[in-house]
Amino acid sequence: MSAKASLPNAILLQGRSGIGKLHLGRTLAQALLCEMPLESGEPCEHCGACDWFKTGNHPDFRLLEPAADAVGEIDEQNKPTDKKASKFITVTQVRELADFVNLTTHRNGRRIILVHPAEAMNVNAANALLKTLEEPPPDTLFILVSHHFQRLLPTVRSRCRKVSAPPPDRETALSWLREQGVNDAEACLSQSGCSPLAALQLSAEDYQLKRGRVLDQLDDPTRLDPLALAEQCEKLELAWVLDWVEQWAYDLASIGMAAQTRYRVDPPVQMIRLAKAVNLIELLRFQQELLAARRAVQHPLNNRLVLEQLFLSYGQLTNSQDATYV
């Protein structure tokens, strides 16, 4: 009771992607709306409010997410997502909340708005939300779920009570993944940067096959045709390809400097050989180029061009390796 009374107007639930923050935010919302919450604070799952919540019909709850047909201009790197889904929460969506927050609440006197991910709000949307946070409507709680809280407007951040959601430890994450039927849990967890929900998504067989085909080619520059690889990758989600190449480049540098990898559980011998031979300065330059390519994803003028340029640079990187090797 006292916990409810002392709730802030807005909570910022922050932490890396794929560790269950959205689930936590939803559970918190359900618990606060529940009519008979358990002593632990969890929702009862049986009352009318819980039933409404679970069917997505609770009249005092709104989930604000990027709409399917919205357009916007902020940069946000998502893991594999539906291509057609927008990445943005628009000002129109935020303004539509006005009616909701000004109505009387239906059930136990509290209304909750979950914004996910909060950094998907474009500047106009964030400013509109800020106005609401500056003059908070009574009995209203905003839960902002954020994977990249640095991208939120500082003025929005400062209006929220921050709650950090730490990632689970590796062993817990691995055993959870195995429970979900993921066979190569170690590899998928590493690829996800230790985010179990993301790892679960990445475990799809088709995804792993496509990733493996691209990495095999990167491992062995003597057999790589940059333009053919660009053509092959053009048919894939560009954000995926960039993830793979970025992780590959990170591991290559990491093998060279510290004899360890972060994303690749068992780096093949060709990769280790390449890591020993590659010029680190050139590799850093290549990583800079990857960042630039990442920005280009936001303006998909020509994915093929971005990919061709990238793999041609990769060709140069591995050629310069020959030069230093000789």
- Backbone φ and ψ of 62, nearest 5°: -130, 140
Is residue 31 within 8 A of residue 108, CB to CB? The reply is no
> Of the ranges 45-53, 226-234, 243-251, 295-303, which one interacts with Zn ion (CB under 5 A)?
45-53
Q: Which is nearer to Zn ion, 41 or 212 (CB)?
A: 41
CA distance 89 to 66: 4
Q: Which is nearer to Zn ion, 50 or 145 (CB)?
A: 50
Q: What is the DSSP string of 63-85?
A: EE---TT---------SS--TTS
Q: Which is nearer to Zn ion, 47 or 63 (CB)?
A: 47
Q: How many residues bind Zn ion (CB under 5 A)?
A: 5
Residue 301: CB atoms within 10 A of its CB come to 8
> Of the ranges 37-45, 87-95, 159-167, 269-277, which one interacts with Zn ion (CB under 5 A)?
37-45
Say whether residue 29 binds Zn ion (CB under 5 A): no
> Of the ranges 43-51, 57-65, 221-229, 317-325, which one interacts with Zn ion (CB under 5 A)?
43-51
Say whether residue 277 binds Zn ion (CB under 5 A): no
- Backbone φ and ψ of 276, nearest 5°: -75, -30
Q: Which of 47, 165, 277, 297 binds Zn ion (CB under 5 A)?
A: 47
Q: Which is nearer to Zn ion, 34 or 141 (CB)?
A: 34
CA distance 117 to 149: 9
CA distance 43 to 33: 8
Is residue 136 within 8 A of residue 4, CB to CB? The reply is no
Say whether residue 43 binds Zn ion (CB under 5 A): yes
Q: State the minimum distance, in angstroms, from the CB of residue 86 to Zn ion.
A: 33
Q: State the minimum distance, in angstroms, from the CB of residue 101 to Zn ion.
A: 23
Q: State the minimum distance, in angstroms, from the CB of residue 47 to Zn ion.
A: 3
Is residue 115 within 8 A of residue 121, CB to CB? The reply is yes
> Of the ranges 34-42, 62-70, 136-144, 176-184, which one interacts with Zn ion (CB under 5 A)?
34-42
Write the CA distances from 208 to 108, 184, 194, 203, 215, integer angstroms.
47, 10, 17, 7, 10
Q: Which is nearer to Zn ion, 95 or 107 (CB)?
A: 107
Say whether residue 44 binds Zn ion (CB under 5 A): yes
Say whether residue 34 binds Zn ion (CB under 5 A): yes
Q: Could you tell me which of 180, 183, 207 has the C-alpha nearest to residue 196?
A: 180
Q: Which of 10, 50, 126, 128 binds Zn ion (CB under 5 A)?
A: 50
Site string for Zn ion, 56-95 (x = CB under 5 A): ----------------------------------------
Is residue 155 within 8 A of residue 130, CB to CB? The reply is yes
The contact set with Zn ion (CB under 5 A) reads 34, 43-44, 47, 50
